[in-house]
Structure 1
Amino acid sequence: MMMKKHFFLLPTLLLSAVIVLADNPIVQTWYTADPAPMVYKDTIFLYTSHDEDVTRNNFYTMDDYKLFWSVDMVNWTERGTVLAGRDFSWFTDNAWAPQAIPRNGKIYLYVPLNNNTGAKIGVAVSDNPSGPFKDPLNKMLVATGSMNIDPTVFIDDDGQAYLYWGNGNLRMVRLKEDMISTTGNITSNIPMQGFTEGPWFYKRKSLYYLVYAGSSEKISYATSNSPTGPWTFKGDIFDRPSIATNHPGVVDYKGHSYCFYHNGALPGGGSFKRSVCVEEFTYGADGSIPKLTMTKNGPAAIATLDPYKRVEAETIAFSSGLKTQVCTDSGAGLNVSSINNGDYIKVKEVDFKDGATSFEARISSSVSNAKIEIRLDNQNGTLIGTCDVSGASTWTTKSCKVTGASGKHDLFFKFVGGSGDLFKFNWWKFTPIPTGTIKSAKNVTRQDRFEISFVNGGNKALRLDFSQPVQQQNLTVGVYDLSGKFITTLFSGRTQSSHLVLPLNNFRINSGVYLVKMSLDNSVVQVKSITM
């Protein structure tokens, strides 16, 4: 990021139109900048700097660093603030563009601090990507001259690590294997056509790349056959942005190539309130990077999301009007907050497979008449269920039945209710329609046993008597034939009774012997046979 005081603001009306259609910017709950993607194991982690909502002194107001992660490139889960300037004893002001890299089982996060009092580069270390990060030096790692900003780190095939950084003056130094100390002299004023700031250094095959914010903040790149140059200018990737800065981050993930950047496209955005975006691209046969366009849609999904596993509410493809905060529920983490009437969350490429029967959401601090409308494909798409979440003063799991959800869809949670904050939202989960076969008729995993009897006559029914009342759990009663093939679901929901009568007249079940399976919260309690 560059110390410029002129900036451009897009009209608010235009930005409001953009937010309805877009999946870029990929983070909407905060203003984010200076994207630093890192692939670690099977996940892509995205570190960003953070433009505060309230700008101080009409200049970049940046106090900490955010982390987001994804496995599908469209749904991003926030991990919150993982490092702040105040975590460094020598911090005075401004936490600018970061970059992280794994080595020796640790994550090293390089950050430029203290621009107003003389920018210096520091490093923080953690045992995992989400922290906690600690400053192992209690002092700066490196600095020479002015504008020691925008560090980028790369470890070559021979194990040698390199640190590039700078604004106007591109500099480089080698790092020791411990990644927190340097070796050799700093090389300054490295020739690089149009170099302004924001270098991003990496290697692909045998070619070294340095992508950076060049003339007029266009994203440009150069290549070399050596990690230390000389560098050959190859061209521009993005044209000049509508704000005063830009910062690239390039990464390969699951066989795809991506270029991250930032703009000012969120409502209220601009040079001091930026937003991270991403585009997919394909290298040329000669290793060249094509000219790219900043889009509203972003990349396609490379995996689907499983709605039958617990999903954090802060897993978002796009949203409107929301914030996140540290969660007080068990398990800690974050929850979605600042939920008002008409706000929404979009989650992409949700695979319902054969269908869902119910939905549950973890809710707190809800007002009366607060609801979640569950819709498919757009904000006003097919309504598959409405979950009344009102009346939860403390963390409570609310549930509702759903119908019409099968196959792959974009999923929308539309929040409705009165004025002001409606509730806090921690996580959500669907229950699938039972399919397939019963693998074992002896699968008894809990103490909540039940007895079953057939009620004959004009109104045929099954009566289930439980050894104890079933409370605050999802109960599912399914019928299978003797081969274990699924026939139908008799009940799916919650009950606090010690018995349950399930009418059969509406189910086309022929006379015979069947297996009845009772499950609590997706765990099989017991399977029994009965003649009907």
Structure 2
Amino acid sequence: MMKKKHWSLILSGTMLLSAFFGFTSSSSAADPVVTSGNPIFTSIFTADPSAHVWGDGRIYVYASHDIFPSRGSDLMDKYHVFSSDNMVDWVDEGEVLRAANVSWGRPEGGFMWAPDAAYKNGTYYLYYPHPSGTNWNDTWKIGVATSNKPAADFTDQGYIQGLPGSNMIDPSVFRDDDGTYYLYAGGGGKSYGVKLASNMTSIDGPIKQFTELQDFHEATWVFKRGSMYYLMYSDNNPGANRVRYATSSGPLGPWTNRGIMLDPVLNSETTHGSIVEYKGNWYLFYHNAKISANGTLRSVCVDRLTFNSDGTIQKVIQTSEGVPAVGPRSRATEIKYYDLINENFDAYTQKTEYAMNGSNVTIGGGATRSGANIENMHNQGSYIQLSGINGGAGGKELLTVLYASGDSGAAFKVDASGDTTGDGYFLSLPGTGGWGNYTGRTNRLIDLNPGANNVIRLNGGMGGANISRVIVSLKPATQPTEYPMSGNNVTVGGGATRSNGTIENLHIPGSYFQLTGIDGGTGGKKQLTIVYGSADNQSTFKVNASGDTTGNGYTFSLPGTGGWSTYTGRVSGQIDLNAGTNNVIRVNGGMGGANVTRIIVAPIP
């Protein structure tokens, strides 16, 4: 059950987390209901969600990215895509495009604002607003990047010619029932729509301005239900945008204003959303600043959307629970916000405490040491760095900081060796009522590499807190450990390739992937599980492991799953590992193909 007392942490910007587990609430022991919680993306700060359902049956959200520490909207960059097959377990598919990839863009970069996506004839299109000049407000363009995958390998193709140079932001692309595509964009009170040409990168016909929309500001989204077209947008309500919508009998209007469908969101003056149907339900995606309490550090949320019998939309109720699952539990990288609030870290029992006067602790940038405490972390550039941190088998580990603070609330940026996104982690430190009142205790999950050579750095300058201790907690090796193929302890060779966190081309003779830093606990027999997708009827892998004294390796047979991207395959077998965290596992292909997403090492049941 929820610990109600923890909800007081929300307004001070609790913690930003990511993990491989979720929260389950239940109305009865026999009737469990799993919900997403809001916000749904917690590994990085995201806004302006654009949701789509493609042919593989997953729902994808293309979001803008509020980089932390924030410098406001000018620094926004590095688009990420998130996906799910049940609305509850979300995967950060990773970065798909950044300003540095845009050859025609603003020399100073940044300004990668709200994107959208479309699919046509085997190609995925990413549409995004970006200025072409230093004078960003008058040089907006709608760029187009393409890929043959929904969430990876996008390459910029230039920008759409013939559009206005100012106020041309927040693109939305809509596909009508006859296969015609339309582009919508606008900001600063001006809303536009135009038919796209068959090449999806140019316009076909005159641009229409929708002057009939009531109090239009930005954030256009267009969809169709039955014979009715809907245009959703953000209004100009001062300091607290609302979402309004209008309807029409045609994709380019004229539009009939229908009123407000979403009230202002928590801690953010901006509002931007998308509407999509998935597995028989309609959803509204939007953002708020619940985690950070900072309107330039936002997070994506989702709630159910309901239509009246006449096609009008009921006002959406913003919830903390989010939406219920529409399928079985599956792989996730995003922690549920419930778990964040509940501090549900009971599995992290292998604790190591680090005193602030220890030999592995260094400080700088104005931070000072007073006795056993680190002070003056309010200074810009101040930091505490800990070296020689044991990451165990690597992956998600728990960082706990003990502190005192006379400020109403502070934040640290945490850097850790295993962070592959480069964003660092947001750590909130609510005030404790005094600089000598060391009752503060704040947690967050961070990524560490396998082994004992990790570094953790706490960066200050965003409010003050005096630090007394840092604790790093691991899950004991008796727990199953997942190793994603995106990890930096994974290498490939012999023709095998890595694509979007998956190892492919393992049908090639001599192909292999190898994982280092595997935790064998006390050694001996362990259960290895390979998670994969395969369009072949049957494949075979030979596995070598550090504890194999025979040298013969182990044979794993992998039945087909019906498709290379159908990652429902799980095959398990016993292998031998040595004691400690320096084990190596090598998986050899060449006898049929399978694309591998992760392996799991667990004690023998």
Secondary structure of the corresponding residue to residue 519 of structure 2: strand
2:70 aligned residue (55, 71, 94): 55
**1:198 is the counterpart of 2:219:** yes
Letter in 1 for 2:66: D
Structure 2 CA distance for aligned equivalents of residues 393 and 169 of structure 1: 46
Cα distance, 1:373 vs structure 2: 3.8
How do 1:116-265 and structure 2 match up within 5 A?
116-136=137-157, 138-167=158-187, 168-216=189-237, 217-241=241-265, 242-265=267-290
**Which residue in the other structure is 1:95 paired with?**
112
User: Could you say if the C-alpha distance between residues 470 and 327 of structure 1 is closer, same or farther in structure 2, counting changes exceeding 3 Å?
Assistant: farther
Q: Deviations over 1:196-250 (max 9, x none)?
A: 1101001111110111112411111111111111111122111123422110111
From the superposition, tell whether residues 17 and 156 of structure 1 become closer, same or farther in structure 2 (CA, over 3 Å). same
8 Å Cα contact 2:67-2:423 kept in structure 1: no
SS at match of 2:230: strand
**What pairs with 1:354-393 in structure 2 (closer than 5 Å)?**
364-366=450-452, 372-373=474-475, 386=479
Distance 1:385-1:243 versus aligned 2 partners, 3 A rule: same
Flag the 1:338–1:247 CA change in 2: closer, same or farther, 3 A. closer
Structure 2 contact 288–301 (Cα < 8 Å) conserved = yes
Q: Is the 8 A contact 1:371 1:387 kept in 2?
A: no
CA-CA distance at 1:153 after TM superposition: 0.8
User: Quick check: 1:49–1:98 contact (8 Å CA) kept in 2?
Assistant: yes
Distance 2:96 2:49 in 1: 14
Which residue of the other structure, out of 11, 28, 31, is the alignment partner of 1:14? 11
Specify the SS of the correspondent of 1:257.
strand
The equivalent of 2:122 in structure 1 is: 105
Q: 1:205 to 1:363 in 2, by over 3 A?
A: same
In the alignment, what sits opposite 2:444? Answer: 343
TM-score by length of 2: 0.55
Report the Cα distance in structure 1 between the residues aligned to 2:139 and 2:74, rounded to whole angstroms: 15
Does the 8 A contact of 2:192 with 2:209 survive in 1?
A: yes
Q: 1:29 aligns with which of 43, 47, 61?
A: 43
Aligned partners of 1:271, 1:208: CA distance in 2, in Å?
Answer: 31
Equivalent-residue separation in structure 2 for 1:326 and 1:110 (angstroms): 33
Cα distance in 2 for partners of 1:226, 1:297 equals 36
- Counterparts of 1:263 and 1:228 in 2: how far apart (Å)? 30
**Aligned residue number for residue 467 of structure 2:** none
Q: Which amino acid aligns with 2:101?
A: D
Determine whether 1:266 maps to 2:291.
Answer: yes
* Partner Cα separation in structure 1 for residue 541 and residue 74 of structure 2: 57
Matches for 1:408-447 after TM superposition, within 5 Å: none
The alignment partner of 2:77 has SS state of strand
Contact 2:417 2:449 in 1 (8 A): no
Partner of 1:277: 301
State the alpha-carbon separation in 2 of the partners of residues 252 and 324 from structure 1: 38
- CA distance in 2 between counterparts of 1:447 and 1:76 reads 32
Contact conserved, 1:49 with 1:66, CA < 8 A, in 2? yes
Structure number with bigger Rg: 1
Measure, in 2, the Cα distance between the counterparts of 1:55 and 1:337.
12
Supply the distance in 1 between the matched residues of 2:89 and 2:415 (Cα, whole angstroms): 16
Equivalents in 2 of 1:31, 1:304: separation in Å? 27
Shift of residue 80, structure 1, vs aligned partner? 1.4
Q: CA deviation at 1:154?
A: 0.7
Number of corresponding residues? 383
Cα distance in 1 between the residues matched to 2:104 and 2:252: 31
Matched residue SS, 1:182: coil
CA 1:143–1:372: 2 relative to 1, 3 Å: same
Residues 393, 271 of structure 1: alpha-carbon distance in 2 compared, 3 angstrom cutoff: closer
Q: Cα 1:232–1:116, aligned 2, differ >3 Å: closer, same or farther?
A: closer
Distance 1:253 1:446 in 2: 36
Q: Which runs of 4+ in 1 moved over 4 A?
A: 10-13, 16-22, 318-328, 333-342, 365-371, 384-389, 429-432, 445-448, 469-474, 491-497
1:30 shift after superposition: 1.1
Aligned to 1:418: none
1:270 alignment partner AA: N
Assess, with a 3 A threshold, how the Cα gap between structure 1 residues 334 and 272 changes in structure 2: closer, same or farther. closer
Amino acid aligned to 2:444: D
Give per-residue Cα distances to partners, 1:404-458, cap 9 Å, x unaligned. xxxxxxxxxxxxxxxxxxxxxxxxx9979xxxxxxxxxx9x8999xxxxxxxxxx
Secondary structure of the structure 2 residue equivalent to 1:91? coil
Asked if the contact 2:45–2:68 (Cα under 8 Å) also holds between the matched residues in 1, the reply is: yes
2:585 counterpart residue number: none
TM-score (normalised: structure 1): 0.62
Q: 1:74 aligns with which of 49, 74, 88?
A: 88
Cα deviation digits, residues 284-320 of structure 1 (max 9, x gap): 22222211122222111111225xxxx56x3543475
* Distance in 1 of aligned mates of 2:481 and 2:178: 59
CA drift of 1:251 comes to 0.5
CA contact (8 A) 1:64 1:81 kept: yes
- Residue in 2 that maps onto 1:500: none
SS at match of 1:170: strand
Q: Equivalent residue of 1:301, what SS?
A: coil
Deviations 1:325-376 (A, max 9, x none): 9989xxxx9799869994349xxxxxxxxxxxxxxx99624469965448xx
Contact 2:417 2:448 in 1 (8 A): no
Aligned positions of 1:378-527 closer than 5 A: 386=479, 395-398=516-519, 468=550, 494=576
Structure-1 separation of matches of 2:554 and 2:422: 22
Structure 2: any 5+ residue segments left out of the alignment?
1-6, 18-22, 24-35, 341-397, 400-413, 428-441, 455-470, 490-515, 531-537, 557-572, 580-598, 601-605
Secondary structure of 1:193 counterpart: coil
**Do the aligned residues in 2 keep the contact of 1:106 with 1:126 (CA within 8 Å)?**
yes
Contact 2:171 2:220 in 1 (8 A): yes
Identity among equivalent positions (%) equals: 32
SS in 2 for 1:166: strand
Shift of 1:120: 1.6
Instruction: Give the AA of the match of 1:229.
Output: G
Partner Cα distance (1:291, 1:326) in 2: 44
CA distance in structure 2 between the partners assigned to 1:362 and 1:288 by the alignment: 49
How far apart are the structure 1 equivalents of 2:153 and 2:450?
Answer: 27
Give secondary structure in 2 for the equivalent of 1:184: coil
Give the Cα separation in 2 of the matches to 1:326 and 1:397. 17
